[in-house]
Structure formats: C-alpha cells, structure tokens
Amino acid sequence: MTATRKTLTPTDLSPFARALGHTLTDVTRLRGGSKKGVYRLTFQDRSTAVAYVWSPDEDLWDAGPADPRDPFSHASGLPLFTAAANRLAAAGVRAPRLLHADNTHTHLPADVALVEDLPGGSLEDLLNGDLPAVAKADALERMAALLDTLHACTGPRFGKVAVVDNGGSSYGGSCEAVVAERALSDLDELPARDPRAAAAHPQLAEAIRTLAAQVQPRAEPPALIHGELGPDHVRVTPDGDLALIDIEGLMYFDAEWEHVFLRQRFGHHYDALRTEDAERTEGLDEDRLRLYRLATHLSLVAGPLRLLDVGDFHDPEFMRGIAEHHLGLALSFLENAS
C-alpha cells in the first residue's frame, strides 16, 4: 500500500520555478491528482503556475509500470501528458499551456511539468452554483462546441495519442473488443469483494459477451476523446473559456465511450451537450453504447475498490459510494435486459 503522500515544499520545487526565471514563495497542494501530485506555485511577483509531479510517491493507485499500447493502461506520466498537450493544441482545444518540462530527475526523483495556472474554478463548480459570474448556459454551449471540435479530430488507429501519433499500434483488434476484454477482467475482480457480484458473475459475463457480439464493425476512423471527461476535468477561466485538464488518457477511440461517461458525469446537463454536436451524436451506435455502459459500470466498481486496496485516498467513503452505486447499476442492467 502506498504510504501517506508527503506534500512537497518550496525547497523541493524552487529549482523548477528558477527554470522559469521566478523566485518561489509558496506551494499549495491542489485537490485531486490521484495519479500525480498537483501543486500551485506562487512566485515573488505574485504570478502563479501549476506543477504536475509524476512519481510513485504521488500515485495513489500504486500501479507500477504500464504499457501504453493498452488503451486503458494506467494513464500517467510526462510523455503521455506532452503528447496529449501537443495534440490538443493542434486540434484547437485548450488545455493549460506547458511552461516547462523536466524529466532529468536532477531535483526530484520524478518527472515534473509546470503549466499555466487557470484559477477560475471547474465546470463542476459552475454547475453546482459556485461560479455565479459565469452563465451556466453559455458554459454548456462552449462545452458542446469543445466536444464537437475534439471529436471531429480522428486518428488512423485506436489507442493512446502518445502511441498512435508516433506511428505505433495498440493491443486488440477493435475498440469494442478491447472494452469487452477489460469489462470481463474488471468483472473477474469482483466476486471476492462482494457476494452480490459473485452471484451475478455468470449472467454479467454472458451479458458482456452478448453485447459485444451485437456490435458491428465500424469503417469510420476513431475520434479523439478525453476518456474521463467529467465537469471536474474542465477548467473555467474568468472570461468563460474552457480548458481540459487530466489529459494523459487522451486517445483515439469510439466517441460512444466518451458519451457514456459524459452522460453519467453531467447528468441532466448532458442534453445540452448534444445540441451543438447533434449530427454526430445522432449517429452514435446504440449497440456500442449498451456495451460501453455496462463496461463503464463495472470499471467504476472495480476501479474505486482497487484504489481503496492499494492507495491513500483522502475520502474512502466517497469511493465506496461510487462502487456501490455502479454495482447497483450493473445489476439493474441485468434486470432491464431480462
């Protein structure tokens, strides 16, 4: 199990501030960042930046080395981040601007990136009523336009941007095959954790295989997707502009995978996101959506329970609640299918 994370200090991070020509006066750990440390750096001239620190000590998942050729492998690290940042910039989708990257491990035993600080809050804050200066309707319109721009970009093959844009290929024969295999793997973790999952294991495994068999091959190229695009992964600037964060999982994949996650995380706001992108969302494959919906439920049971096993998450009851909620949805999936 990963030990309690030690918050880095100005002494630890001062060398990276000096690389930008600044003197560091204060460091604050920011909320989130289960795969990396996220810190706001305040400089002597009162300007700020955000530091991302990728090290085993900062990764609550304790996942170890990951093979990026697996589209759903642990999405963490400077190479994935820089590849994603470059692809989003080329696509015209905003993310915090990269100011400095250091993979030398000279000052810390970790890869470090300094990025533009966007302190205006998240889209989740706005939708919860915590950013009254920005109109919700306008922000959702901008979010719909952002999705349209993002998903209009395509790649020659499915997989992580860092792999595909460097000419590589991912494991698996298709997006749906990779999702089905991952869902079965997540399902196999659950019987030892919960008697309800143990009892339903045969039916859930059969449902995954049946849904996967119903998906027809797709000729269209895979779309550029964030992969875990909830409102907490969108920053809102004071002027209402939107920027994506936690971008290391950026990949070319079926847009249906993104839309299943969007529907879950945006709730009743999801319909507003379909408006700008109506032509594309009307073309979503219902068979893929059904398979991906069940797979996502199982992932959101196995993932949180896995994190609680190996990590030091600050709110374990929150994670248990996510797992319980999605186990219920997976089991109700069977009831609705019968």
pLDDT at 136: 78
**Cα 222 to Cα 250: distance, rounded to the nearest angstrom:** 12
Tokens of 58: 């900062």
pTM: 0.93
231: nearest Cα among 271, 264, 185, 187: 264
pLDDT at 2: 44
Residues of the chain with pLDDT under 50: 1-3, 276-278, 280
Tokens of 178: 């990779």
User: How does pLDDT run across 66-75, given as a tens digit for each residue?
Assistant: 899 999 999 9
pLDDT at 50: 97
pLDDT at 122: 92
User: How does pLDDT run across 176-194, given as a tens digit for each residue?
Assistant: 999 999 999 999 999 999 9
**Cα 147 to Cα 10: distance, rounded to the nearest angstrom:** 37
Residues paired with residue 38 on neighbouring β-strands, in sequence order: 52
List Cβ neighbours of 314 (8 Å cut-off, separation of 6 or more).
Answer: none
Which domains, from first to last, does the chain contain? 10-116 (3.30.200), 123-337 (3.90.1200.10)
